[in-house]
Structure 1
Amino acid sequence: MESAGAKEGPTEAVDHRALAVSVLDISSDIRRKSHNDTGVRPLPNGVLEILRVIESHPGITVAEVASRLGRQFSNVSVQLRELVAGGLVTRVRDPADKRYVALHPTAESQRIKALLEGAWAEALSSASSRLLPEERQQIAASLPALQRLAALLAEPE
């Protein structure tokens, strides 16, 4: 069965289950193999996801973060307190509407983001150096589609 928006004609079927499992395994292994050399205190996955949303959308509200992640407001609020206490996120109240609180990453958050992303890239580079050249080319060619897929998945529901 073809999905909406699919092009007419023959297409290669994507094994979405295998893709999902591979992406999750890669993500988990990248974090595990790269974190030790950064000197950064490990953040639980849920807290890291919140931080990444705030870094991608400075000025976002707690409710918007919760909506993007499909989580309860109260749970996000509790984890957000950890990020604020750790100096990774600031809360800025709107002077015109005191109920509105915008979330922003700090300079320390940006430093840690760059450090972690560099370590993640190194872990991937090390592993991919053992792939065949054709396999590395396939991964490089698929990167724009994977980035677009990630953007679509990140959209609020």
Structure 2
Amino acid sequence: MKTICTFCSCVVKEGNSTEDPVSHGVCPDCYDRILRTFGFNVKKFLDELESPVLLVDADVRVLAANSLALDLVGKPVAAVRGTLCGDVLACINATRPKGCGQTDICPDCTFRESIKETYATGLPVNRRAAILVKKDDDILRNIPFKVSTRKDGNVVMLRLEPVQGD
């Protein structure tokens, strides 16, 4: 399925499904423009939150992130905007040939599933246990999180709560 920005008609995501060939969403540039037009400073709002937070669209692409989330992933906002969550979080599956959301394991991803569930139903997810598998220096690490989601308009807010070891 191809996703087209409702506002500027640019292609947000290419697709190849013949079932439902076109969907509509909002591209990151238009999302930023909308927020500026209405005088809402999303960065200031997100930075007031006490947990790492990512704002994501229906395709699980990051639209914005607070400073705590950027510190957690070690990347600047320009490197995360428009990028799939698995790539932002450096999930091991995002490094595989098919990439984030396309491996056999991805349908069981708690991060992705929580976002998709909230996007589809509008219902929040509260502190669901999740494990992020990362590869650092050829060593696989399982990093536990509690994830929470909330939908606001056409965006899902993903809160990442790192779980400290015993």
TM bucket, shorter chain: under 0.3
Write 1 or 2 for the structure with the bigger share of helix: 1
TM-score normalised by structure 1 residue count:
0.28
Q: Kindly indicate whether structure 1 or structure 2 has the higher relative contact order, using CA contacts under 8 Å at least 6 residues apart.
A: 1
Say which structure is richer in strand: 2
TM-score (norm 2): 0.27
